[in-house]
Amino acid sequence: MIAAVEPKRTYLDYNATAPLRAEAREAMLVALDLSGNPSSVHAEGRKARAIVEAARRQVAGLVNAAPKNVVFTSGATEANKTVISQVRFGAVAASGVEHPSVLEAARKRGEAVSILPVDNRGIVDLGALEDWLVGTQHLGERLVSVQWANNETGVIQPIDEIAQVVRAHEARLHVDAVQAAGRVTIDLSADPIAFLTLSSHKIGGPHGAGAIVQGCGGELKDPLLVGGGQESRLRAGTENVAGIAGFGAAAECAAGEVQSIGRLEALRQRIEAELTAMSPEAVVIGKGQSRLGNTLSVALPRARAETLVIAFDLAGVALSSGSACSSGKVARSHVLEAMGLGEQIVQSALRISMGWATTNEDIDRLLEAWSKVMKTDRAARQVA
């Protein structure tokens, strides 16, 4: 029998999920073969516990935190919800470009929640933040939630500056660092960040694992899930040992790659230069801004992103339109809208995101597909 040869695919959607790293897979296979519960005192239990604690050290190492401050969760969504639901906060503010897991968790609080505006570069308006901090002083302990880098545009927030402003007003800062981890240096021992969110599958670990890292002034008090005393009573439920093992291994690899982000940045520069030569109407979102080296958000006014994503998929290239669609449904990008970008940009933005396994050949194939897709798309637009 002749085996069908699968056509080569080019995966450029790392901000949605990065492919599993070999090291993570290996660590998971070892963990899957263990039979113990990490809370059990017998030898089998102790082996499982050792795996969880080794992973805790690896994840802490990624952000220069103490391992005891890492609380494992089922992912970043749970981590964000846990932080934002802490009952002691009298008021919560989140930027308008946060991930829905932050925005929806904040809205669920119902009372005293404010959405901070961003400017047309996607940067949080520091004046509005300061006004909010002054105006809510009487409300007791307050929480500000600002992401390190945006999942759609890659735009990096001035976290140091934000952290200083928040500290000066004696509030707490939560940073969703899901997209920044492994791509920028994160040092929790240096920054006054109270809580940091991480996700395993964005750095080459498995889905379904994440963490809250408690930093300076960040003490979790209210678990979202209650029951057993796992994770220092901060997150009940038997640990996802294999998931955590894979997360730990991926965190260690990602920590080693932060310094070499320039490799991806060079690939992105090549894409930007060649794309804009082929499609002079293309608009690079966040150009000139401090952006993640792996992310390119580019709009093609008059095109429809959803149609282009399908065309690229058929041409063997996986990329996404604006944010990752949820349940197969592509929603309008609240991020691009919050930046005040016009309709033409919002509906035509594509996201190309690279990572640890992306090669020059992947970019050759992307550019080849781009040329083909654009010819057909232009023809379609002329007929329509």
Closest CA to 366 of 7, 107, 124, 9: 9
Q: Alpha-carbon distance 121 to 379, whole Å?
A: 32
Q: How many residues touch ligand PMP (CB under 6 A)?
A: 13
Q: Identify the residue among 36, 38, 75, 204 touching ligand PMP (CB under 6 A).
A: 75
State which residue, 56 or 99, has the beta carbon closest to ligand PMP: 99
Q: Which is nearer to ligand PMP, 73 or 358 (CB)?
A: 73
Contact, 192 vs 166, CB < 8 A?
Answer: yes
Site membership for ligand PMP, residue 230 (CB under 6 A): no
Taking the least distance from each CB to ligand PMP, the nearer of 74 and 230 is 74
- Residue 86 as a binder of ligand PMP (CB under 6 A): the answer is no
Annotate the chain with three-state secondary structure.
CCCCCCCCCEECECCCCCCCCHHHHHHHHHHHCCCCCCCCCCHHHHHHHHHHHHHHHHHHHHCCCCHHHEEEECCHHHHHHHHHCCCCCCEEEEECCCCHHHHHHHHHHCCCEEEECECCCCCECHHHHHHHHHHCHHHCCEEEECCCECCCCCEECCHHHHHHHHHHCCCEEEEECCCCECCECCCCCCCCCCEEEEEHHHCCCCCCCEEEEECCCCCCCCCCCCCCCHHHHCCCCCCCHHHHHHHHHHHHHHHHHHHHHHHHHHHHHHHHHHHHHHCCCCEECCCCCCECCCEEEEECCCCCHHHHHHHHHHCCEECEECCCCECCECCCCHHHHHCCCCHHHHCCEEEEECCCCCCHHHHHHHHHHHHHHHHHHHHHHHHC
To ligand PMP, the closest distance from the beta carbon of 72 in angstroms equals: 12
Given candidates 76, 196, 224, 284, which one binds ligand PMP under the rule CB under 6 A?
A: 76
Give me the least distance between CB of 280 and ligand PMP, in Å please.
31
Q: Which of residues 169-198 bind ligand PMP (CB under 6 A)?
A: 176, 178-179
The single residue among 10, 58, 69, 77 that binds ligand PMP, judged by CB under 6 A, is 77
24 lies in the binding site for ligand PMP (CB under 6 A): no
Q: Minimum CB separation from ligand PMP for residue 125, in Å?
A: 19
Footprint (CB under 6 A) of ligand PMP, residues 88-107: 99, 101
Residue 293 binding ligand PMP, by CB under 6 A: no
Nearer of residues 149 and 188 to ligand PMP, judged by Cβ: 149
Minimum gap (Å) between residue 295 Cβ and ligand PMP: 11
Q: Is 205 in the site for ligand PMP (CB under 6 A)?
A: no
- Catalytic residue numbers, as ranges: 325
Tell whether residue 291 is a contact of ligand PMP (CB under 6 A). no
> Quick one: 272 exposed, middle or buried, by C-beta within 10 A (0-12, 13-18, 19+)?
middle
Stretch that binds ligand PMP, among 41-49, 72-80, 244-252, 329-337 (CB under 6 A): 72-80
* Alpha-carbon 361 to chain mean position: 25
Q: Does 253 bind ligand PMP (CB under 6 A)?
A: no
* Residue 210 binding ligand PMP, by CB under 6 A: yes
Per CB under 6 A, does 157 bind ligand PMP? no
Residue 159 in the binding site for ligand PMP (CB under 6 A): no
8 Å CB contact between 45 and 39: yes
Among 10, 199, 333, 348, binds ligand PMP (CB under 6 A): 199
Q: Is 215 in the site for ligand PMP (CB under 6 A)?
A: no
Using the structure block, give the residue that is written with the tokens 């991930």. 99
Write out the binding residues for ligand PMP, residues 356-375 only, by CB under 6 A: none
Q: How far is the CB of 35 from ligand PMP (least distance, A)?
A: 27
What minimum distance in Å lies between the beta carbon of 96 and ligand PMP? 14
Residues within the interface to ligand PMP (CB under 6 A):
75-77, 99, 101, 147, 151, 176, 178-179, 199, 210, 324
